[in-house]
Amino acid sequence: MSVLQKLIVKFNEKKNQELYVRIIKEIQQAEMLWIAFSENSNNYFLGNEGGRAAAYIFSDREYYQKYYVHISNKGKKIDVAENPVKYRMALFGDLYRSGFDCIVIDNGQTYLKIDLFDIIKKPVIKDKDKETSSIVNPDLIRAANFIFQEQERDNIDPKLWQILFDEIFKGEYIIPVDSTKLVVDKKSGKELNISNDSRIGFPLLENKDGKKFYPFFTDWNEYRKFDMNTQYTIMAAGFKDMEKFVDKADGIVINPFGSNIILNYDMLSTITEASKELKKETSRISVGDPKNYPLQMVRKISESLWDKEYIKAAYLKLMLKGRDESYLVALEGKLPERPEQLYDEISENALPDANNIPIDFIDYSSDFAKKVFKDAEPFYTAK
């Protein structure tokens, strides 16, 4: 049994902060870890754990092999990537930029689900301080990964495509610029004079069929796969720039050495319309009482709260956002600074009795909760 697995077993027997800190340190410092990798998405295997994007990491290769058999029996293709300690922080940075927000350690053994940002500090970049090299699109990468993982199915849910299209529409990108023909003369002070005969170019990538595409990159890591020798300068770009470039070549390619999303003029038009439609749908939110009260689910949530002395009460509504419904649970009390782990614990216990309806959580003190739960009776009250 690995050191990390022994710690997880102890932690599940008796949860305490000291053990949790030791687990985090072992994850950061273990000589080797193994992570499930998706052949279809060319990225880490993406799972859904209580509505959260999860990566699967193993402290022993044999643990991965058992998980491999389990996943293969479900018809999904995965591989394993080794991660030595010298690349550990790079791995977690990769998970962040790819849209993961939690990891599951040793699935199939005594396992533990951990918030990614308990291991690394979540980057906070203010728009005014943002540099082009700090651009990331985790929601876009996550949406693309999920679709590519599901591509062997004949009927991928159209909503998944709609989400991906919306993320492409909203995305910020890095594009390469050939500035070798840019002639700049320095004036007095900080002023620069750009010569009239200056030119900048935008490189094209050509595929094996001779078709040419302008590359767009979702983040610096993807861009470096293209320009390892720093041949080009970079600039920020958006969807409107894609529309300007697309008819000057055979199309656009997003992350050509990663997810390799190829877009032509017609697809950009489809993305624009899909994004508009999704915006209309998500702007329609209604909240009310569930017609079929999920009594067993409510009992499971209450059981999860018995030992949480900081939770005074819990309330339930059914929320309809566009065509998607979910249970909305408001928790009253002094919630942890990052309550995701609490939400995960409750979801894990209650979701099997939620009739395939997702569970969303909200702080009862928030303005939205005060509005929709006004005069509502709690289903749980601390004793």
> Is residue 328 helix, strand or coil?
strand
* Nearest 10 degrees: Cα torsion 209, 210, 211, 213: 120
What's the pLDDT score for residue 312? Answer: 94
Q: Tell me the C-alpha distance between 143 and 166, whole Å.
A: 10
Q: Tell me the C-alpha distance between 127 and 130, whole Å.
A: 5
Domains and CATH numbers, the chain: 3-118 (3.40.1350.90), 129-282 (no CATH), 285-381 (3.30.300)
CA 16 to chain centre: 28
Q: How far is CA 352 from CA 236, 340, 349, 356, in A?
A: 44, 19, 7, 8
Among residues 142, 76, 75, 61, which one has the least CA distance to residue 108? 61
Q: For residue 105, what are the β-bridge partners?
A: 57, 112
Write out the two tokens for 309: 């002395």
What's the pLDDT score for residue 170? Answer: 93
Q: How far is CA 308 from CA 74, 314, 320, in A?
A: 37, 12, 29
Q: How far is CA 189 from CA 185, 192, 308, 370, in A?
A: 12, 9, 63, 56
> Is residue 32 helix, strand or coil?
strand
Compute how many other C-beta atoms are within 10 angstroms of the C-beta atom of residue 160: 14
Q: How much of the chain is in helix, strand and coil states, percent to nearest 5?
A: 40, 25, 35
> Is residue 282 helix, strand or coil?
helix
- One pLDDT digit (tens) per residue for the chain, 383 residues: 899 999 999 998 888 889 999 999 999 999 999 999 998 888 999 998 877 899 999 999 999 999 999 998 988 889 999 999 999 999 999 999 999 999 999 999 999 999 999 999 887 766 555 688 889 999 999 999 999 988 766 667 788 888 899 999 999 999 999 877 655 555 555 554 555 555 678 999 999 999 999 999 999 999 999 999 888 999 999 999 999 999 999 999 999 999 899 999 999 999 998 888 777 766 678 899 998 999 999 999 999 999 999 999 999 999 988 778 899 999 999 998 888 889 988 998 999 999 889 999 999 999 889 989 988 999 999 88
What's the pLDDT score for residue 125? Answer: 64
Among residues 158, 245, 265, which one has the least CA distance to residue 205? 245
Whole-prediction pTM:
0.75
> Is residue 38 helix, strand or coil?
strand
Greatest alpha-carbon pair distance for the chain in Å reads 78
What's the pLDDT score for residue 121? Answer: 86
